[in-house]
Amino acid sequence: MKTLTGKDLAAAIRAQTQAEAAAGVQPRLAVVVATADEASLWYVRSIAKAAAGAGIACDVVDLGPGAAPDQIAETLARLSADPQVHGLMLQTPLPPGASAQELAAAIDPRKDVDGANPLSLGRLAAGLPAFPPATAAAVLALLDHHEVELAGRRAVVVGRSTVVGKPLAHLLLDRHATVTVCHSRTRDLAAVTSQAEVLVAAAGRAGLIGAAHVAAGAVVIDVGTNPTDDGGLTGDVDFEAVSGVAGALTPVPGGVGPVTTALLLRHTARAANLP
Amino acid sequence: MKTLTGKDLAAAIRAQTQAEAAAGVQPRLAVVVATADEASLWYVRSIAKAAAGAGIACDVVDLGPGAAPDQIAETLARLSADPQVHGLMLQTPLPPGASAQELAAAIDPRKDVDGANPLSLGRLAAGLPAFPPATAAAVLALLDHHEVELAGRRAVVVGRSTVVGKPLAHLLLDRHATVTVCHSRTRDLAAVTSQAEVLVAAAGRAGLIGAAHVAAGAVVIDVGTNPTDDGGLTGDVDFEAVSGVAGALTPVPGGVGPVTTALLLRHTARAANLP
């Protein structure tokens, strides 16, 4: 079995992004945060650190876990209108009563580097230029990097979230895969997933995908980032069990994650240089 | 086998729409046309006639087959801004060089009664209120009318168009079906479609779906409207062959079509009364 690591690819994307960032105006990413969630704050710090390494300015705008939806919307509208800001993302989770989908409509689509605005998703689905969510784009980038054929093949996505499962289904369709989307209400999940030549697990449930879910030789991409008791991360795929069946498998951590961050920065550098 | 006709459902929707239209301000639908295609013009006339029957005003704005994309965009923008117009649709086909997806962005989402603006598709995918394309909504309405269970069942959509296949996949996912989208690049189409408990043919190819494509007892919805040599319409499903296998099947004409027109008018009446 081949382990599909994301580190080399992430490093290559970062290097290219750094060159793009150095060639024009310095790109600036603004990340709006309204949570005390430790894992989320850790992720935001890791974005800021990676941005610095790529020559991209990163402003973390922390509204605190008590921020009102209106205040978040106003902040997103202000940053959307600010010509100094090229990329803009809203970190989740949000305070109770705040809807990420509704608030993301306040992000200028030209700055929507994490593809959160419903208009970006619609444009993606309609085949028009748009930034896809970085995680969904990272899955495609990993498949391409490891030269996994998609046209005409059966791809199964487990998870129907607006940020991963649904946009990913459109990206895979656009590459001519036959695409199935499964979710918590799918009956006999293993019967469906074991038909996949390319299987993407994005359900957010640790160990959901075991050996019985995977066809011999399948390519398996694990998008899960579930916290473990010891403060680490684990995927949706039981790595040990599935590695005995799959043809190729991404690790967690070190698979989709680093590519996601690298692509968020690439999108920011490109947003800074849109015509 | 049960024949899932759409005529009764369409009549019920029209009656309800007529009552809604009579209760408030008279709804007005504007249809922008830029084609000499006979089938398309026939469809527009049928919409205008149905609108009149439901107490809805219908303006056909015919720009002719030589209309420039800018002219179409300006017309859509003008009608979007016109407070007298509640529903607005752009009829296809369009002149060479005009992109329906790009032009539809000029339709005010609150008037986008045929769900053509990419923002409507994105909002639909994100689970936010939006008008779905009338054809995709008609498929769901027919399934509901005939009490076809969707949650947890396997649905397969053949066709990945922006106007039918993709929005329909989101509507089915939203109803908790496990959804597969097939298309012209799918290998062994029959192997995939014969796993469907609910099969929707929306490929635009006459007779594409035969008996070998359908599981015994499956519910089959035929969205195809392919012109026949004698001036009639035929679906994507070989009705005679499939009626020996399927549990239920829509006819063409008389299935999805009348429901589509009725829902377009319902959407217009609702658009006239949005808060």
How would residue A73 be classed by pLDDT, with cut points 50, 70 and 90?
very high
Sheet containing B198-201, strands listed edge to edge, beginning at the edge strand earlier in sequence = A2-3, A248-249, A219-222, A198-201, A154-158, A178-182, B178-182, B154-158, B198-201, B219-222, B248-249, B2-3
HSE-up of residue B212 (Cα within 13 Å, Cβ side)? 6
Question: Which residue from B120, B169, B183 is facing A122, i.e. has the nearest CB?
Answer: B120
> Does the fold of domain B134-255 match that of domain B26-108?
yes
B175 touches chain A (CB under 8 A): no
pLDDT score for A271: 98
Residue A228 near residue A234 (C-beta atoms within 8 A): yes
CB contact under 8 A, A119 and B118: yes
A160 touches chain B (CB under 8 A): yes
Distance CA B188, CA B182 (A): 10
Least confident of A38-42, A140-144, B48-52, B251-255: A38-42
HSE-up of residue B72 (Cα within 13 Å, Cβ side)? 29
Chain B residues near residue A149 by CB distance under 8 angstroms: none
CB contact under 8 A, A152 and B186: yes
The CATH classification number of A134-257 equals: 3.40.50.720
For residues B159-167, average pLDDT? 97
Structural domain boundaries in chain B: 26-108, 134-255
* Mutation site for B-interface testing, chosen from A171, A173, A176, A193 by largest number of B Cβ within 10 Å: A173
Condensed to tens digits (0 to 9), the pLDDT of residues B226-242 reads 999 998 899 999 999 99
What is the ipTM score, two decimals? 0.96
Å from A127 to nearest chain B CA? 8
Residue A134 near residue A99 (C-beta atoms within 8 A): no
B110 touches chain A (CB under 8 A): no
pLDDT score for A170: 98
CB contact under 8 A, B187 and A178: yes
A38 pLDDT exceeds 90?
no
HSE-up of residue A88 (Cα within 13 Å, Cβ side)? 25
B8 touches chain A (CB under 8 A): no
Q: What is the DSSP letter of A109?
A: G
Domain B26-108 has CATH 3.40.50.10860: yes
Distance CA A238, CA A252 (A): 10
Domain A25-109 has CATH 3.40.50.10860: yes
For residues A23-32, average pLDDT? 96
Q: Which CATH superfamily is domain B134-255 in?
A: NAD(P)-binding Rossmann-like Domain (3.40.50.720)
Longest Cα–Cα distance in chain B: 52
Residue A54 near residue A46 (C-beta atoms within 8 A): no
Question: Which residue from A123, A179, A187 is facing B181, i.e. has the nearest CB?
Answer: A179
Burial of A5 (0-12, 13-18, 19+ CB in 10 A): middle
Chain A residues near residue B176 by CB distance under 8 angstroms: 183, 185
pLDDT score for B92: 95
